[in-house]
Structure 1
């Protein structure tokens, strides 16, 4: 193994875009970015993705491939001075790429210095962020970047390629010594890394350091891998873009009736200690996605949420598992809230009209003189508690917001609703 103190992950950082593993949607050989960089042209761009997806590595590989000098700063620690120095270097050489990590943290003073240089083309910017740039990066900076690319977590198969490359490389990797490790154990390291190449290489480096030496070879056995990978492979950022995607994936899996997917995302949320968000999202799901198809689920979810909040983790997982599965397997309907949304749209558009006089409040002196409450037909005085009369403002006569669905419990509500519509047509409804 090399005597350098540099971590293996740093030594194995890709030198050119041809050494990049994964991210084929961004830098694959047929992508526009690959072809641009190979020709020496680099547009200003923003790279975003979770930690460990290779944003910094990609920036360095792009610079080296294009034959450009890379000046790297971090928005959390750099100031106006560093940006001005990068601009000055660009004036002299015309060959500088400015890499800004955590670019969403640029303050106003930094932006004021940077923007004119981007506008003039003096500085070519590669910005990296763990946050969604459409939410967190200044729009003025976004508009001056030709591309915004999202990096994805690497698959275990991608990480396996990187690990084998490190094992075989005698100069930058650990190939100077003969390392014996079973492919199944190497795969376990790849899986434990959670899509992060830096973590995968760090785990391999630790395993090599802990390996038994026999006959001039280093043997990495199952016990070493188990020790090095313990408690690895899971990360949870409660405030990051990925957090909201987890909640979204959880709800969409329930909506799509996929029990196993819903349980997977529930497990990830609970493993992150995110009990409050899970409980809130379950309450949203039961009324947004189950609705009138199974109204009693609202009661069940509320009971499960109350139990979970009282129990706390880890026991809270028990009632939450029950209602999650039941929500997945329940019939679904969004007709109720969609009906209200349609009514809200009319109200916001100014489609109001006057309340019919017979519905107006008549509990005050003088109401009769105004005609308020006059002619109101009290439904309880009629058979079946119903009588034909107008309730909507006249300008909205005949409007229909609710479109019932014919499954689950809602089919019974649909039958009643359609019978009432029929009676309205048959009865003499006073305007």
Structure 2
């Protein structure tokens, strides 16, 4: 009887056993030929969870016969890296597989990178995050290739499941299992291209199935119940999770209530309530903004209530504000304006604050030339309140406009006021 999980046992031992990924490791690819000829380059493997990054690393190690060490960057310390270096010095060359490589810290890098550069350590890093965004450039520059793995196709997973059922050494070949090709096909189609999930699902399915006369019999009803459940789940920290958050925001921005609720439901089933509430709060100001400024306060109240309530009740206030944001008037003018101001700040020398705006609440301010500010409240303009024509931006930016109003919802009124105030510039008695 095996103690290791099925997904662990069924990892390919050579590159010829790898399922799918023919664009990367197929027999006609340069990488396959290099490894077969005894040359293993340092690599970065990028892709979603469960599509074979770890399996490919182990398969490369099995084919190359190089001394192999596997570490996870989230838990590995400086001593672990030093041990890899020692092993490389003793054996001449080591193949290091580093999972979650985007979490590699500078101290670990400083210890390891010279040996990667010299070739005594061959580094295969794996990450679910975009390596161009999240992997340190020092690591990227020492890896000859960034390999993006693709989600496995149902036919790839079907072959893997069949191989597992037939394999008497590592798989389930010694078990008497009654399962149809149609049932295996449903599993292959229901795990979203994730090989690890497919094998874990098969293992759980068999554990939950009835045994009759020494046979494990898989029933359609049980299979469907389990498939329905796993289709709702995802990886809280993987790319798919961030894709869901992105899809939620873009659906709200596009005013599609049904799509927004669909993605919200998926995110809540995954269970990362903090990420969901944070994204909804950002959206209320980024996408609704001045067109419906009350929405921001509504979302603050709803997200606070959701975090206090927890699931499943949290779905109620969050669904309310999601629908409200979808159907609200929308404007991104304020955040575009601050981004434009920030851009100018970085691209141009910082302008001098006009003398009449500088602090005068101390003795000697007048000697420095500070003063001359006109108090706007003393000069009312119609029903707007106080306004006076004086310069607020630095001289080098006088007349610059960062804000471009959007005439939507409540911002229509604000846009009219903004344009009216601009028309007052240069007039002594605006009315």
What TM-score comes out, normalization by structure 2 length?
Answer: 0.76
Which 10-residue stretch deviates more, 327-336 or 225-234?
225-234
Residue correspondence of structure 1 range 45-64 to structure 2 within 5 A: 45-49=43-47, 51-64=49-62
Which 10-residue stretch deviates more, 116-125 or 381-390?
381-390
* Aligned pair partner of 1:90 in 76, 89, 92: 92
Q: 1:400 deviation in Å?
A: 0.9
Q: RMSD of the alignment, in Å?
A: 4.3
The equivalent residue for 1:73 is 70
2:333, 2:406 within 8 Å by CA — same for their partners in 1? yes
Structure 1 residue 372 and structure 2 residue 392: aligned?
no
1:356, 1:391 within 8 Å by CA — same for their partners in 2? no
Deviation per CA, 1:321-360, whole angstroms, max 9, x where unpaired?
1211222333332111221233344455444234264x67
Structure 2 CA distance for partners of 1:56 and 1:361, relative to 1, 3 Å:
closer
Structure 1 residue 390 and structure 2 residue 390: aligned?
yes
1:331 partner SS: coil
Deviation per CA, 1:160-219, whole angstroms, max 9, x where unpaired?
342234345566544567744345543453466464322322332444466556799653
Distance (whole Å) between structure 2 residues aligned to residue 429 and residue 394 of structure 1: 23
The equivalent residue for 1:119 is 117
Distance (whole Å) between structure 2 residues aligned to residue 375 and residue 303 of structure 1: 39
Which 10-residue stretch deviates more, 208-217 or 119-128?
208-217
The equivalent residue for 2:143 is 145
The equivalent residue for 2:197 is 199
Deviation per CA, 1:258-278, whole angstroms, max 9, x where unpaired?
444433443344334433333
1:69 partner SS: coil
1:258, 1:328 within 8 Å by CA — same for their partners in 2? yes
Q: 1:36 deviation in Å?
A: 4.3
Structure 1 residue 421 and structure 2 residue 419: aligned?
no
The equivalent residue for 2:402 is 401
The equivalent residue for 1:410 is 411
Gapped runs of 5+ residues in structure 1?
none
Structure 1 residue 284 and structure 2 residue 286: aligned?
no
Kindly tell me the number of residue pairs found equivalent between the two proteins: 420
Distance (whole Å) between structure 2 residues aligned to residue 123 and residue 287 of structure 1: 48
1:313 partner SS: coil
Structure 1 residue 267 and structure 2 residue 273: aligned?
no
What TM-score comes out, normalization by structure 1 length?
Answer: 0.76
Which 10-residue stretch deviates more, 117-126 or 9-18?
9-18
1:390, 1:429 within 8 Å by CA — same for their partners in 2? no
Which 10-residue stretch deviates more, 298-307 or 110-119?
110-119
